[in-house]
């Protein structure tokens, strides 16, 4: 077990959401119960001039920070641009009485992945059409070439047999050759155009795939992309008999950070931790965001103890930082995380290994947080 520094006891005081919108702060004990909070109506035909005010009202009602992600979600919901998103928001409000921040984030991420997947599907369809057209063009050129060859054979045979005056036969063959040259030039021009389109499409496909596999907040690989990378690494490790380890990292008391300082500050903390992990665990490790305040790290070719030491170095460095709120200038204290590490066992699948890393993470949480534990060494 890697013991860490104790969490800071520095006081925390969050900025007022209501003050941000020009309203005086109120005592939480006097707040209107969630079930009685008036929820703005869903998408309708309200004048566009009132859109900004309605978005602000939506965010205030649900106590969502005015971050770009929340603003876009409110815009999509009020404008009715995404029926699936509208249905998800309505269901969340009906279930909880208001739209909670964590639920809003999940809905926004699902919408982002859905849009990326739709775009990727359209680009793939376009690529399929271009490839089909290119194949048809190549097939037609092959047919034209065979027809041209056959015509030349017949013309040559006619000249040799004396059945056609040589001058006329040569004239016909020259005309046939000019026609074939025109066809070839046209096919070449169309292939050049399609080559340019395919190059552009290749770039768009790569960009769409990157968006579909990236976490929109931190830029790290998302859960789907990480698990795909993990599956490939596990197959290679099993084939070559090399070690492989994973680490589950979870920011300590993250809910308190959001509650005391606002979700915008929470988002900045998430990005800071993501950057610290990427910079600290080494270029031969792969970091992804699993969801919420959880991160996963893949250590390909590295045993659990060495992986734990790397993660612990990041934890130690991060816990020594003294943070200040950009919004209020007030000290935030320190940010720590707990982590669990597991090494791949012979014959183990990815689900079992991740569960063991998660168990080690919970052991670290239960053991006082701000520490790294290897599974089996609790």
Catalytic residues: 293
Q: How far apart are CA 180 and CA 148, in angstroms?
A: 7
- Which residues are 249's β-sheet partners? 295, 339
Please, where are the H alpha helices in the chain? 17-20, 51-61, 68-79, 83-96, 101-161, 166-212, 223-240, 254-261, 263-280, 304-319, 350-366
Angle separating helix axes 304-319 and 263-280, nearest 10 degrees:
130
Nearest by Cα to 85 from 72, 73, 100: 73
Q: How far apart are CA 43 and CA 76, in angstroms?
A: 9
Q: How far apart are CA 250 and CA 294, in angstroms?
A: 5
Q: How far apart are CA 292 and CA 278, in angstroms?
A: 17
Number of alpha carbons in the 13 Å side-chain half-sphere of residue 31: 16
Nearest by Cα to 324 from 4, 6, 15, 70: 15
């Amino acid at each position: 077990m890697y013991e860490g520094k104790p969490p800071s006891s520095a006081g925390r005081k969050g900025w007022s959401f209501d003050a941000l919108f020009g309203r005086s702060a109120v005592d939480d004990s006097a707040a209107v119960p969630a079930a009685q909070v008036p929820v703005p109506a869903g998408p309708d035909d309200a004048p566009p001039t009132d859109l900004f005010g309605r978005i602000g009202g939506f965010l205030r009602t649900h106590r969502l920070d005015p971050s770009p992600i929340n603003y876009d979600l409110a815009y999509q919901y009020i404008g009715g641009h995404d029926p699936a998103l509208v249905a998800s928001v309505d269901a969340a409000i009906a279930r909880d009485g208001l739209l909670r921040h964590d639920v809003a984030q999940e809905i926004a991420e699902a919408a982002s992945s859905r849009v990326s997947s739709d775009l990727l599907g359209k680009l793939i369809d376009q690529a399929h059409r271009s490839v089909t057209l290119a194949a048809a063009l190549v097939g037609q050129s092959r047919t034209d070439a065979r027809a041209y060859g056959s015509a030349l054979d017949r013309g040559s045979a006619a000249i040799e047999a004396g059945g056609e005056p040589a001058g006329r036969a040569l004239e016909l063959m020259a005309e046939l050759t000019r026609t074939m040259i025109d066809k070839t030039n046209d096919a070449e021009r169309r292939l050049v155009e399609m080559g340019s389109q395919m190059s552009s499409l290749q770039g768009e496909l790569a960009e769409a795939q990157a968006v579909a596999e990236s976490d929109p907040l931190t830029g790290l690989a998302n859960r789907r992309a990480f698990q795909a990378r993990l599956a490939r690494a596990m197959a290679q490790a099993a084939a070559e008999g090399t070690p492989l380890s994973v680490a589950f990292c979870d920011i300590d008391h993250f809910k308190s950070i959001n509650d005391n300082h606002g979700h915008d500050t929470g988002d900045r903390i998430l990005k800071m931790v993501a950057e610290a992990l990427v910079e600290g665990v080494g270029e031969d490790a792969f970091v992804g965001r699993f969801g919420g305040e959880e991160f996963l790290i893949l250590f390909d070719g590295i045993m659990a103890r060495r992986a734990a030491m790397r993660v612990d170095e990041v934890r130690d460095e991060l816990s020594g930082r003294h943070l200040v709120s950009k919004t209020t200038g007030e000290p935030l204290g320190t940010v720590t995380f707990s982590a669990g590490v597991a090494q791949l066992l012979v014959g183990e699948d990815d689900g079992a290994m991740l569960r063991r890393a998660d168990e080690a993470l919970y052991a670290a949480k239960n053991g006082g947080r701000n520490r790294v534990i290897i599974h089996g060494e609790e």
